[in-house]
Structure 1
Amino acid sequence: MLANNPYIADANDLMAGLKQFGPNSLNTPGTDGYGFIRTYANSTDPSYRYLWRYQVGFSKAVYVRWKINSDGTWSAWLKL
């Protein structure tokens, strides 16, 4: 149940699935204090995966960013 999960500490952490973020979560885009980040991965091997991350905040803004492989860097968040 999502309502019982703690907020993520850092949006740069590698994770798959749906996570909540809060005002103290690091590396979130925009000014949304609360919302959800959904991460999609094409593989379970962190060395060879492509990650796409979507963030939806309570201000109704939607952002996306991506990363290639665990040693890659995250792109900038882009507002959709």
Structure 2
Amino acid sequence: MAGLWQFNPCTANAPIADSFGFILVLANYTNIDDTYLWRYQLGFSKGVYVRWKINADGVWSAWAKL
């Protein structure tokens, strides 16, 4: 799950529709059941957004523009 991923207008759950860029996923631990996850969306000309989640059964926060 952690890593650098590309996104495009067809990507689900993007904060800005019809955009392209990269999503950087950071995790503090490899056990998904006990992990803090951060997703940074680095969009081309659309800005930078972040959201986070705690543990596998947690709920993603809303996207926040940085």
TM-score bucket of the superposed structures, by smaller chain: over 0.9
* Equivalent residues, number: 66
Segment of structure 1 superposing worse, 56-65 or 69-78: 56-65
CA RMSD of aligned residues (A): 1.0
| Paired position in structure 2 for 1:28 | 14
CA distance in 2, matches of 1:36, 1:69: 23
Code of the residue aligned with 2:28 in structure 1: it is N
More strand by share: 2
- Runs of 4+ displaced beyond 4 Å: none
| Paired position in structure 1 for 2:57 | 71
Gaps of 5+ in 2: none
Seq. identity, %: 64
Alignment check: 8 A CA contact 1:32 1:57 kept:
no
Code of the residue aligned with 2:62 in structure 1: it is A
Shift of 1:60: 4.3
Greater relative contact order structure (CA < 8 Å, 6+ sep): 2
Code of the residue aligned with 2:42 in structure 1: it is V
Shift of 1:31: 3.2
| 1:1-80 alignment runs, 5 A limit | 15-80=1-66
| Paired position in structure 2 for 1:9 | none
